[in-house]
Amino acid sequence: MSTSTPPTETVNGAEVAAEGREPQEVNHARNPKSHILLTIAAWACGILFALPVLWMILTSFHKEEDAATNPPSLFAPLSLDGYRSFFDAGPWPPLLNSLTASVLSTILVLLLAFPAAYALSIRPVKKWTDVLFFFLSTKMLPIVAGILPIYLFAQKVNLLDNIWLLIILYTSMNLPIAVWMLRSFLAEVPVEMLEAAQVDGASLMTTLRKVIAPVVMPGIAAAALICFIFSWNELLLARVLTGTVAGTAPVFLTGFVTSQGLFLAKVCAASFVVSLPVLAAGFAAQDKLVQGLSMGAVK
């Protein structure tokens, strides 16, 4: 929602009182005591939500026998054994598969989504809202409802356990999100500027570079981030359609828990390593995350 609509209801006389005042940060708590309490509550929430992840990281650096104690041994000596046994289990092929599938499908998504978003905003086709909502409706079609024909088709044309099958499917999975996002950004390109560029005889490339790109680059970044995360995380399709060759990191993780012996440190190390690209990308681009998750509706 790029334009914030003013609240429909106003408290009596609010507007009169607002005159001549600078807008300022809401201070919910006037008295310092409740301000401190609310601050403590906010910190408590943040720590509580991050705690399982912090626990995962700490456990991943413990020896197996220290990881599985009750009560927990917080201050046990640190060790890299968990990571050693994770990397000994051959995680590189699945990690590389995940990287290939996520990066290539993200590039494909952007290549297909950008022209489509252009045709839905700047030079809109007729009934462009219908098209836009068709894209959104495909996101609501459960993947699981189409997985069997895809599996049978892939079997027939020998595409099972082939990374390209995942690349194509991840592209179709993320394309609607990217079209929505890029459209909402392209819709903000000032049309007068486009017209001026046209009158000046600017070529399409120049128009793209000078007028459209500056407005749309943040949108492209947000779309790329979100497409990468969703492809990297995907499990169901990868589990059904790949095997030993094209298996991705999430599939590798599901096969990582053994029934015998202690494995907690190893599982925590594996979970942390597999999540690391998403954590890094998400932290680096926190503001893009909101835009991406809301499909461009929140800017």
Partner 1 sequence: MSAETAEKVASDETARATRLAKAGDWSRRAPLLPALIFVIILTQLPFIATLVVSFMNWNAYYPDERGFAGFDNFARVFTDSNTRSAVIVTILLTVLVVGISLVLGMAIALLLDRKFMGRGIVRTLMITPFLVVPVAAALLWKHALYNPEYGLLNGTLKAVLGDNAPQPDWISNNPLLAIVAALVWQWTPFMMLILLAGLQSRPLDVVEAARIDGASSWQIFRSMTLPHMRQYIELSALLGAIYVVQNFDHVFTITSGGLGTANLPYFIYQTFYTAQDYGRASAAGVVVVIGTILIATAALRTAFSLFKEEGK
Site for partner 1 in 189-228 (CB under 8 A): none
150-157: list long-range contacts, CB under 8 Å, 24+ apart: 150/237, 150/241, 151/240, 151/241, 154/241
Distance CA 106, CA 177 (A): 11
d(CA 68, CA 65): 6
Contact status: 258 vs partner 1 (CB under 8 A)? no
Q: Residue 109, SS3?
A: helix
Q: How far is the CB of 205 from partner 1 (least distance, A)?
A: 15
Integer angstrom CA distances of residue 119 from 112, 173, 194, 285? 11, 20, 15, 28
What is the nearest approach in angstroms of partner 1 to the Cβ of residue 79?
17
Element counts in the chain: helices (H) and strands (E): 15, 0
Using CB under 8 A as the binding rule, whether residue 47 contacts partner 1 is answered as: yes
Stretch that binds partner 1, among 85-93, 110-118, 156-164, 204-212 (CB under 8 A): 110-118
Q: Is 76 in the site for partner 1 (CB under 8 A)?
A: no
Strand partners for 62 = 78
Is residue 45 close enough to count as binding partner 1 by CB under 8 A?
Answer: yes
- Candidates 78, 89, 136, 204; binder of partner 1 (CB under 8 A) is 136
In the bound complex, what is the minimum distance in angstroms from residue 231's beta carbon to partner 1? 11
**Bond before 176 cis per omega within 30 degrees:** no
Beta bridge pairs of residue 78: 62
Measured distance CA(185)–CA(117) in Å, rounded? 9
Q: Is 130 in the site for partner 1 (CB under 8 A)?
A: no
Name residues contacting partner 1, limited to 271-290 (CB under 8 A). Answer: 271-272, 274-275, 278-279, 282-283, 286, 289-290
Looking at 61, 83, 86, 118, which residue binds partner 1 (CB under 8 A)? 118
Indicate which single residue of 31, 32, 33, 70 sits in contact with partner 1 (rule: CB under 8 A). Answer: 70
Q: How far is the CB of 214 from partner 1 (least distance, A)?
A: 19
Which of these ranges, 13-21, 84-92, 196-204, 208-216, lies near partner 1 under the rule CB under 8 A? 13-21
Q: How far is the CB of 232 from partner 1 (least distance, A)?
A: 7
Residues 140-169 that bind partner 1 (CB under 8 A): 140-153, 168-169
Q: For partner 1, which residue of 32, 75, 77, 123 counts as binding (CB under 8 A)?
A: 123
3-state secondary structure of 62: strand
Q: Of 73, 5, 49, give the one whose Cα is nearest residue 264.
A: 73
